Amino acid sequence: MSDRITVISDAIAAAIRDYRKRQGMTREELAVELWDAGAPQAMSAAVVGYIETGRRDKDGARRREVTVDELALFARAMKTTVAELLGEHASMLGLDQAPPCPSCERRKHSGPVQDQVRADVELFDELEDFEPTLVEVAYALAREIDTGSEKLPSLTRELRHTLHELTSSRQRPPAEEDDLDDAGDPD
């Protein structure tokens, strides 16, 4: 197992070293970036060097592995992802696949009312960006109606009201940028 960890640490170290050299950074400058990303002051240029080289023993074996905390800090400081730093080893942790989409999962279990509400919302191009909270409320109400809730009449009224708010907010004229129009001219 330690051989596998060493191989992964070597891959991470190579990615860190390659990044630093591409950016024309010294280890000291990378240490400062790490501090800005939340690393403790103990994460010095020397530590960056130990991580990059592995502090090899006399037989060439890596004595300094990369910790999970360090991996996350380097990713943040380098404005990349943990998966990028892991390279081909990312698949071992399932990081080569996108995380499940919660809204996609909800859509799989939608019923006819929720499907219709989604179709209606899609007719208004920017509605989800413009009023995301109201859109989510509409979807949740539609989902409840589809499940046959005992509160069906009140849910239906609330859904109608929410949809009315959504469509009327889409039709409102943009707010005036200067609300001091009636303040008059300065003396």
State the pLDDT confidence band at 2, using cuts at 50, 70 and 90: low
Does 177 reside within a domain? no
Question: Are 139 and 118 contacting, i.e. CB atoms less than 8 angstroms apart?
Answer: yes
- Location of structure tokens 């240029």: 45
pLDDT at 156: 86
The larger pLDDT score, comparing residue 26 to residue 114, is at 26
Q: Indicate which CATH number applies to the domain containing 47.
A: 1.10.260.40
The larger pLDDT score, comparing residue 151 to residue 45, is at 45
pLDDT tens string 59-110 = 988 988 999 999 999 999 999 988 889 888 888 776 666 656 655 655 556 7
35 and 109 inside one domain: no
The larger pLDDT score, comparing residue 143 to residue 35, is at 35
pLDDT at 139: 83
Does 85 reside within a domain? yes
- Domain assignment of residue 75, given as a range: 2-93
What is the arithmetic mean of pLDDT over 170-186? 53
pLDDT at 46: 95
pLDDT at 35: 95
89 and 155 inside one domain: no
pLDDT at 25: 95
pLDDT at 128: 65
- Of the three residues 93, 115, 141, the one that is the final residue of a domain is 93
52 and 132 inside one domain: no
81 and 106 inside one domain: no
126: exposed, middle or buried (C-beta count within 10 Å: 0-12, 13-18, 19+)? exposed
Question: Are 159 and 114 contacting, i.e. CB atoms less than 8 angstroms apart?
Answer: no
Q: Render 25-81 in DSSP notation, one character per residue.
A: --HHHHHHHHHHTT--TT--HHHHHHHHH----TTS----PPPHHHHHHHHHHTTS-
Which of 11-15, 37-41, 107-111, 174-178 comes out lowest in average pLDDT?
A: 174-178
Question: Are 71 and 82 contacting, i.e. CB atoms less than 8 angstroms apart?
Answer: yes
Residue 183 has pLDDT above 70, yes or no: no
pLDDT at 34: 96
Residue 48 has pLDDT above 90, yes or no: yes
pLDDT at 132: 75
48 and 6 inside one domain: yes
> What's the mean pLDDT when you consider all of the chain?
81
Does 144 reside within a domain? yes
pLDDT at 31: 96
